[in-house]
Amino acid sequence: MRRRALLPLLPLAVGTMLLAACGNSDPEETEMDAETVLDAAGLSAPDLEASVADAPLKGDEAWSRVVTFSGPADVIDAWVADNFPDGIESRAFKDDMAAATERLGDDTQKKGDRIAEGVEGSAAFVVVVGQEDEPVVHVAVRQTGR
């Protein structure tokens, strides 16, 4: 008798398990780690602790994130060399340049910081490398289309 009473609940249980197993694969609604965000831009993840923050969406963007990390200058320079074989020669000639503020906001990029921009597939990125003894790196990555 108990088994018959539970039988109508079986489809509901199966459906719930399938939904849980499938999960939500929409990147804008799932948490993305630094490695995933940087990989979308064709960049490697640093061997450092990194944080990921949501960034405002614009136009047809599927998602937009900012990865931030810092470390000793030699470790940051090694990351730059791995990802930019010719280095990052562009230096900001003033604080809050448009390329950086559009994605990172005001007061993040300073005069003299190294700046790089690029596109990898449907992802575009802006990289700002600070000048401190332990430079702070901000990488804004956005992906267009769905």
Task: Tell me the whole-structure pTM to 2 decimals.
Answer: 0.79
Q: Which among 59, 48, 43, 39 has a CA at the least distance from the CA of 103? A: 59
Q: Which among 71, 29, 27 has a CA at the least distance from the CA of 50? A: 71
pLDDT, tens digit, 9 for 90 and up, residues 55-100:
999 999 999 999 999 999 999 999 999 999 999 999 999 999 998 9
Tell me what pLDDT residue 104 has: 95
Assess contact for 46 and 79: CB atoms under 8 A: yes
Assess contact for 58 and 76: CB atoms under 8 A: no
Bridge partner residues of 91 (DSSP): 114
Assess contact for 110 and 95: CB atoms under 8 A: yes
Assess contact for 67 and 34: CB atoms under 8 A: yes
Split at pLDDT 50, 70, 90, the class of 8 is low
Tell me what pLDDT residue 6 has: 42
5 secondary structure, DSSP code: H
Split at pLDDT 50, 70, 90, the class of 19 is very low
Between CA 46 and CA 125 the distance in angstroms is 16
pLDDT, tens digit, 9 for 90 and up, residues 29-61:
457 999 999 999 999 999 999 999 999 999 999
State residue 111 phi and psi, 5-degree precision: -55, 130
